[in-house]
Structure 1
Amino acid sequence: MMPKDRFKWLKITMLVITIGVVLLYLLACLVPFVAPTTFLPIALAGLAFPGLFVLYFLLLIYWFFKKRKLAIVLSLLFLLGTQQFLAMIGMRFFAGEFEMVKKEGSIRVLNWNVFRWDEQNKKARGGITNRLNMMDVVQMQEADVLCLQEFFEPYDYTYFESNLKELEKRGYPYQRFFASSSVVNGKYKYGMAILSRYPIVATDTIDFEKGVHSEGILWADVQVNDKTIRVYSFHLESFRLGKQSIIARNEQAGNWGNTRNNASKLKNAYALRGQQVEILKNEVAKSPFPVILCGNLGDLPTSYSYFKVSNKLNDAFLEKGSGLGRSFRFVAPTLRVDYVFTDKRFAVEQFYMPDVNYSDHYPQVVDVKLK
């Protein structure tokens, strides 16, 4: 093949790749407006948005040197993804270190998916877990309110100790625990918890009737001096691809187990999460008090679920965080699935994610203040 022919085929190949990437990118731009149940490919394109964004940017550079007019058209289309990009990246790169001493009037909230306090690994480690290490991490943050998902509480203390009692000893006397599931005839319960240094004056729960990998919604009205705020802890449906847990797959060098049904799992998770998002949004709208939402959304900030929940709210990470804000430790560096949202009556003062590896999620620490 002559050099001229090779150049021609390279140009055609790059053009075909560009068309494919642009089409997928434009699909991803529709994510905030189209529910996954309406057209699943849009949701999947949103899931791939971080990679599409990088590919698109590289193609822009290529066509800038090869065909300037085409690069201008591509640049205009590229701007359609601004909303997703701004939801994905925290811009506070020079915010300075997190100050452990709170400002006067600040409320500190810790949000953490605690992975059942590592109790699943106790037997494999000969009776040793990271439970007390995790408790130490919680105590060190000196938070006023804790929102914890995948919380584990035993009601038979033969092998496991009470986590609620341990946290009470560490300064959290006001507690609400919502057990969304139980095993061994109710001896061991799992779900969500809200714990506080301030009095909890009211509480309620919303159970999701469907969803194996979701825990529902727990809210508590917390009396902070002369003000009442409503705090939500939620855990929506997760993807959970493959039979094994994410941690097991990670420790076995990427063995993803049986992936035959992963496509249907994605579809089902999106369908369930779409219903759950509507429930969460409606519950938050009913609140007579300023709200703080903490939890595991089970999806990226480039998703329909994210835009649905975050509408008219502050995303604490975007307000005071930097970079991609990865909250799930495995699989990909873009997996920000844990969030702290506040309504506009709060000012977000600080955001911090301690780099601890005791759970499959990182904790999030946020300082807020009522305006």
Structure 2
Amino acid sequence: GLLVSYLANYISPEKSTYIAVFGLLYPYLLISNAFFIIYWTLQRHRYVLISLVGILIGFTFIPRLYQLKGNKITEENENTLKIVSYNVNLFGMYNATLYADSIFQYIEQQKPDIVCFQEHFQNKTHGYDKTIKQKIHTPYSYLFLQGKHRQLGLATFSTYPIVHSEKIQLPDTKANNATYSDIDFKGDTIRIYNIHFQSISLDVEDYLFTDQVTAAKVNLQTEDSKKSMYRILNKLKIGYKARNKQVKTIVEHIKTSPYPVVVCGDFNDPPWSYTYQQINNLLSDAFVKSGKGFGNTFFFNSRLSIRIDYIFYDNTIFDAFNFTVDKVNYSDHYPLHVVLKKRNLQTD
């Protein structure tokens, strides 16, 4: 089982969505094999080698799950760039509580140079882009929003000039998209991608079922449970196929970039997925380089969370420090931020 979960990183969901779904089980398969190692060691049985070899084969995946200690930097200077990425869930517009003010206050406290919002929202009543610019002193922005009266989408804010920006049309989606903004960072140009890949589109009924499963309060053998599992599995398969096409679009775009690249976004995929692996082939995961702990960014419920939001960067240009996921409950995602320290940029 553990070996099959490794394949999710390398086999396209177009070829097998079942392997892609199996990849979701990686953390649990890893933990169960670790317990088997302890058990078989106590039993002095050679079966211990099976679990041990299984873990060693995929040893490089463990840092994607957990980090003991991240790289720290105590002083930010003219060569550092602080970036925040945050899926703000429409600022809670359709929830019982509106979290816009709390989110703005949080961002203001971070004093970032660049902010990337996914699921940004505004309408005639709430012109959040102006509020954000005033609060965090980011005079430059690029917003790609869809809708007439209620607009939602992606927003990038910067303390440095945005010299060029465009949207990137992703395939197999109407609601999810990507943008890039070329930022003049003290004479050097950096391309910031803001991405929101295809979501799983779970509804209230699905979340209720997952909550019952994680709390062991449901019989999985009943007909209703089987229908719920099939419904969720089908949504997962649709999402995997869509993200497979979308990440290919982004990868090709990144390869043509004339500037150093930073990618921020909600991938809706874990770090042991095909989507993650495609970006990781090109760039470095800021959590792996400078994070600490599990770094989970999205929570299904109080017992089940996962890392699906990322900041990637070009490690030939930057070093990453102080990667942090802040556990603030203003959205169904947690915000993440990192300090990138410039090495020696020489771009036109």
TM-score range, shorter chain: 0.7 to 0.9
Q: Which runs of 5+ in 2 are unaligned?
A: 219-223, 344-348
2:161 pairs with 1:206: no
Moved more, 279-288 or 325-334: 325-334
The aligned runs of 1:18-97 (5 Å cut-off) are 24-92=1-69
Q: Relative contact order (alpha carbons < 8 A, sep ≥ 6): 1 or 2 greater?
A: 2
- 2:38, 2:188 → 1: CA distance? 53
Residue 133 of structure 2 corresponds to which residue in structure 1?
Answer: 168
- 2:159, 2:207 → 1: CA distance? 33
Asked if the contact 1:325/1:334 (under 8 Å) is kept, the reply is no
Deviating beyond 6 angstroms after TM superposition, the runs of 4 or more aligned structure 1 residues are 247-251, 253-258
Q: 1:163 corresponds to which letter in structure 2?
A: Y
Match 1:296 to one of 266, 274, 284: 266
Asked if the contact 2:17/2:241 (under 8 Å) is kept, the reply is no
Cα drift, residue 250 of structure 1: 6.8
Cα drift, residue 40 of structure 1: 2.1
Asked if the contact 2:267/2:309 (under 8 Å) is kept, the reply is yes
2:81 pairs with 1:104: no
Q: 2:139 corresponds to which letter in structure 1?
A: P
Match 1:267 to one of 237, 240, 249: 237
TM-score (norm: length of structure 2): 0.88
Q: 1:177 corresponds to which letter in structure 2?
A: L
- 1:84, 1:321 → 2: CA distance? 15
Residues 1:152 and 1:204: Cα distance change in structure 2 (over 3 Å)? same
Match 2:104 to one of 125, 135, 152: 135
Asked if the contact 1:153/1:162 (under 8 Å) is kept, the reply is yes
Cα drift, residue 367 of structure 1: 0.5
- 2:111, 2:210 → 1: CA distance? 34
Asked if the contact 1:232/1:293 (under 8 Å) is kept, the reply is yes
Q: 2:117 corresponds to which letter in structure 1?
A: L
Deviation by residue 1:223-253 (Cα, 9 ceiling, x = unmatched): 01111100000000121334558599879x9
Larger radius of gyration, structure 1 or 2?
Answer: 1
Q: 1:227 corresponds to which letter in structure 2?
A: D
Q: 1:353 corresponds to which letter in structure 2?
A: V
- 2:47, 2:207 → 1: CA distance? 42
Cα drift, residue 286 of structure 1: 1.1
Identity %: 27
Residue 354 of structure 1 corresponds to which residue in structure 2?
Answer: 326
- 1:130, 1:104 → 2: CA distance? 32
TM-score (norm: length of structure 1): 0.82
Asked if the contact 1:25/1:45 (under 8 Å) is kept, the reply is no
- 2:305, 2:283 → 1: CA distance? 22
- 2:39, 2:58 → 1: CA distance? 19
Residues 1:288 and 1:243: Cα distance change in structure 2 (over 3 Å)? same
- 1:119, 1:245 → 2: CA distance? 21
Match 1:338 to one of 309, 333, 337: 309
Q: 1:358 corresponds to which letter in structure 2?
A: Y
